[in-house]
Chains A and B, each alone.
Chain A
Amino acid sequence: MSFFGRLTWEAIPIHEPIPLITSLVVLLVLAAIAVWITRNHWWSYLWHEYITSPDHKKIGIMYITLGLVMLVRGFADAIMMRAQQSLAIGSSQGYLPPEHYNQIFSAHGTIMIFFVAMPLVIGFMNFVVPLQLGVRDVAFPTMNNVSFWLTASGALLVNLSLFLGEFARTGWLAFPPLSETQFSPGVGVDYYLVALQISGVGTLLTGVNFVTTILKIRAPGMSYLRMPVFCWTALASNLLIIAAFPVLTVTLGLLMLDRYLGFHFFTNDGGGNSMLYMNLIWVWGHPEVYILVLPAFGIYSEVASTFSGKPLFGYRSMVFATLAICIISFMVWLHHFFTMGAGADVNAVFGIASMIIAVPTGVKIFNWLFTMYGGRVRFNVPVYWLIGFMLTFTIGGLTGVLLAIPPVDFIVHNSLFLIAHFHQVIIGAVVFAIMAGYTYWFPKAFGFTLDERLGKAVFWCWFIGFHLAFMPLYVLGLWGATRRMQHIPDAAWAPWLDVAFVGAAIIGLGIFLTVVQLLYSIKTRDRRRDITGDPWDGRTLEWLTLSPPPHYNFAVLPDVHGEEAYWTRKQTAIKEEKLIAEPNYQPIEMPVNTPTGVIVAFFASVCGFAIIWYIWWLAILGLIGAFAIFVWYAWRDEHEHIIPLDEVIANARERRRVRHELLQELIKQP
């Protein structure tokens, strides 16, 4: 083995125009951004305010930025696939050769789940949960920063595969024996495995962090049954992370042992059993769906209640349904491979368990409907997403119940019907929730609202585009079209695939308009300022503080009375026509910034890259570096810095002044 392991000049895709040009464009864009930041002297600001910050709000914003950027990458893969399937019909082979097409659908799934949906959902939990709990940060702020950078490190490695080498051609879950060395000798699967291992560690640490935060760090009086539903769903989601992600680590670890050291877990020979991989990966994979969707349900609950001007209907049943889903989600994994041949009895048990999950989910749908019923619903952009979600998700859920019937599943297994189903639940629930949450909490993060008209345009693009893109796939799936086809054999399918392409293009327009909306809103921010900190007449504690909140969130931890912490307080103030008495302010201790996270992630990336390319000396150097920074960090003496009393008081008085004005307006209202 040479000095650079398997890495040679041939790793650069000189002869493949698509990855080569994409790589060059991406490099140019990155260089342009770097020049732009340098010119404006923003590096220092970025370093102190974001990169090294332990502030949960900044970390949340970084997660969401990462997720949105990767959404563009994942969407580029999607539109390439749709174009290929529209072109490669009959005698035409389209423009993507099979080995390239296979990398694209693998990268699309991997990126969309691990580097779009996960960062976005975790980003919202980061930004919102401590604010809603009425506290100043999460339990382990520095670890939170480490988590983010490890996720970013995984995203970096996946994207690096575009420039150097190749990505997996095995689908987003890399099933063996296809993903074994015998059939996938290149670095593609190794990129996949290493990137997910690194980001998986980050996600696990997030899970530990948030369960600890929600169970141990809440404002005085914030008992469990006073927590906003978003916090409940975040708790359930993070419990699932703690229980499920170690299984992913094991599964991918065993496949790595097969590939790197010639073990026989999943190989065809030596007694290996590839169905063991299916079981293990789906023991993680099914809860993963709920890790994503439960916080989405939480966002809808907040939106439904706020914009209907009513408390959430059936709060306790919502909590119960969330925890029921949390538990049942671990008992359904086998429905992903009914066709394995486990026998009728086993399939029946898992089929029934899968259908039972629809019950608590149905409870939630009715709760949102009854929250809106009789409410004075304000049709702001988040409500559009809420209603669009309920329509889309209900149909997606029904097709899911169909798929949970084993005999039906035998017919549509691995077909485009399945593809349509899971896109319908993931886009319909998770992506729509992310867009709702993005609009809803944007003013809290940046102090001004997003443009409503463009927001509605974005919604219609996604809503119409989604249905055009995926409804035809149900039909094609029932006709027998399997998933992941590089070439379409039947010309009769062409019109349906063309409709799907048009749908994807409309979604693309929606993504483009999101960018336009952001730029336009920044440009016109002076006339859309959120002065009060409470732009939507909110009900939970994040609307109690200013927009954007100070680093420490609350000058004094709010004392919580009643189920809707902020709403109760606001109503009391209106009734008594005055704010609560000024509390006794004290200096505040906050964690100090540290570059630990970004340095650990640097060494993790180096080590991961070296493992992918078999550069063993570099891998060892990476590990030593990571250990050294760990010891260096453990040796620190300064843990917290103190925010002086003057600053706390000045800030708090300003907030009280603004609040006083808001109160006068509210009192005047009938």
Chain B
Amino acid sequence: MDFEDTPEEAAFRKQVATWLKANAPKDAGQGMFRAELNEKESLKIAKAWQAKKAAAGYAKITWPKEFGGMGGTGIQNVIYSQEEAKLSLPGGFFDIGLGMCIPTVMAHGKPEHLARYVKPALYGEEIWCQLFSEPAAGSDLAGIRTRAERDGDDWIINGQKIWTSGAHYCDFGILVTRSDPTVPKHKGLTFFFLDMKSPGVEVKPIKQLSGGANFNEVFFSNVRIPDSQRLGAVGDGWKVSLTTLMNERLAIGGGGGALGTNELIELAKSITFPDGQPAIKNSAVRERLADWYVQGQGLKYTRFRSLTALSKGQTPGPENSIGKAVSAQRGQEYTAFAMEMMDMGGIIYDQDIAPMHAGFQNGWLFAPAMRIAGGTDEILKNIIAERVLGLPGEIRVDKDIPYNQSPGVK
């Protein structure tokens, strides 16, 4: 048992580090300053960087060489991510496209689609988004309502998607629609990709409870999509959607970003409680710090167990599924507790006044999203119960009746 790279891994890490040193932008590594960049500036830097990575094979390490990848292993991918993360480069713009959309096109598209779309996506020239969730269908994705109606060689799309990350700067999107409302819900779906600049597509940012706008609503008014852009057979949209969802990348790169237990301990040392002692000497504070630290360690070493499996060329075990269910709730709790320690002042959100640039307040305000996005806490626990523990699936009262006669559907 150890935490060391194998000789092959160490050699790859060295190769990556050397390449990054020679090729990364000169001012990389100044994380905090880069976070100040606006999205447009970040996107420009990210696109240039993506092109460089793609040319060297690092943009998709696990893809076969014929698609511009490196033909590498899962652990090499993790090693690259770890090394690149040290440079705090603007990123994330291509994750959905290359992690979910393009793999779906690869699995269900025609050879000419692959020839046309894979390379520009890999090089960051074209960015893709995923048009799945709707106002009335989130956890129950198969309940979507956006209509697709056949019109000659085209389909006409009407409806609305929501929570679409990056829709405002994306060039293409993958889209799941309802093409037949008279059959049970999983059977009446059809899957497409489309040009986001098609007439009738309207993207609107969603103002979140945190005040920011990280996601969009996308409206479709008589949008025409050629039938040649259909992925999978008519009525097979659910099957195609599952390919997309199965390609969600292994979230084992490693936390980072938000304030963690170390900052919480520093805060507890710096605040004086009414008894004149630092907060960290208070037994209620100590008990909770211990709980959150231990949970954090548990997540970290669970990731290490998954990495070990990857390193051995195996698929990580089911333990990898606990990550978000634990971390999202934990984050909401400890950020709230940090404010509790600040007493009345905890409510202050001014980053010039609140400790650590209001990082805890900021984390708390965004925490509800973490418990919902990418699978709610409740759905994740269902997944653990069903796929890991083998417990029965939910009873689905709408499974075998026509979609348009299902409860709750107008």
Are both chains from one complex?
Answer: no
